[in-house]
Amino acid sequence: MNSFVYPGVAQGFRPISEQGTHQFQFVPYGTTERGTILEYLPCTQECWLLVFAGLHGEEAEGTMILSRTLRLLRHQPEHTAVILCANPEGMALGTRGNRNGVDLNRNFPASNWKSAPVECRIILEAPRVTRLSPGKTAGSEAETQCLMNLIEKLNPREILSLHAPLGFVDCPQPTPLTQNLSAALGLPWVQSPGYETPGSFGSWCEDRHLPCVTLEFPRESAETLAIRYVTPLASLLFE
Ligand SMILES: [Zn+2]
């Protein structure tokens, strides 16, 4: 294993000895109801792309991959802003929803938001019987409101949302980023996930005519995903 070279090394990225920590300054974009700081990495110039992970607290692989991709970079991104974890309390609790038990990806005030309980699967093979709340009202959660406010402020041209473990690139109308991600990561493009997603972040974006790509990492270990994807993601998202 001594000859193994981690992707990114010797390709103009940061020395691997420095990749253990972040070098860029994250700044708050709000707080949760109980005061946990929500933070993001601003870009240095006009924002073209916002990438975020961890809206579902059970999908830690997205946060880890995005973090490692960011740690490869020598310079702060010029046109890409990053949120490593949009649901930090859910992530800390290891739950899909936030601390209030709300599936944040069903809490956005899209025209299709529904007050009915969200029925999700505890694992892929399970039936959709695990219930979460879509929130008391559309947009009820602080994490949802803060993310919407940040998007209002940054006014990105496109958004990339990281999820797992379905293994596809989802975008109703494929953008160049959709096609590039699909080709570089070897994941199929789909027009929809194949089930209804009322109040999802993607639905909210669609209402606003804001292109939103959902990248669903496949069902692999976080380390396998990192080996496979950090280099192409660094090239696609930050250059
Ligand atoms: Zn998800």
Mean pLDDT of 190-199: 95
So what's the pLDDT on residue 3?
59
236: three-class secondary structure by DSSP = helix
Name the residue with tokens 């975008």.
171
Give the whole-angstrom CA distance, residue 163 versus residue 169.
10
Distance 11 CA to ligand 1 centre (A): 31
Mean pLDDT of 15-37: 96
Preceding amide of 165 cis, omega within 30: yes
List the catalytic residue out of 59, 152, 216, 223. 216
Distance 220 CA to ligand 1 centre (A): 15
Domain ranges of the chain: 16-238
Q: Classify the C-alpha dihedral 65-71-72-74 as positive or negative.
A: positive
| 51 burial type by CB count under 10 A (0-12 exposed, 13-18 middle, 19+ buried) | buried
Q: Residue 97, Cα to own-chain centre: how many angstroms? A: 14
Residues contacting 163, CB < 8 A, separation 6+ = 55, 56, 59, 62, 214, 215, 216, 217
Give the whole-angstrom CA distance, residue 58 versus residue 123.
11
16-20, 201-205, 209-213: segment of lowest average pLDDT: 16-20
For 34-56, the pLDDT digits (tens) are: 999 999 999 999 999 999 999 99
For 113-156, the pLDDT digits (tens) are: 999 999 999 999 999 999 999 999 999 999 999 999 999 999 99
16-238, what's its fold? Aminopeptidase (3.40.630)
Distance 18 CA to ligand 1 centre (A): 30
Give the whole-angstrom CA distance, residue 174 versus residue 185.
15
pTM reported for the whole predicted model: 0.96
Residues contacting 150, CB < 8 A, separation 6+ = 29, 30, 40, 50, 83
Give the whole-angstrom CA distance, residue 221 versus residue 223.
5
- Tell me if residue 196 is catalytic: no
Distance 56 CA to ligand 1 centre (A): 5
So what's the pLDDT on residue 82?
98
Contact 142, 156 (CB under 8 A): no
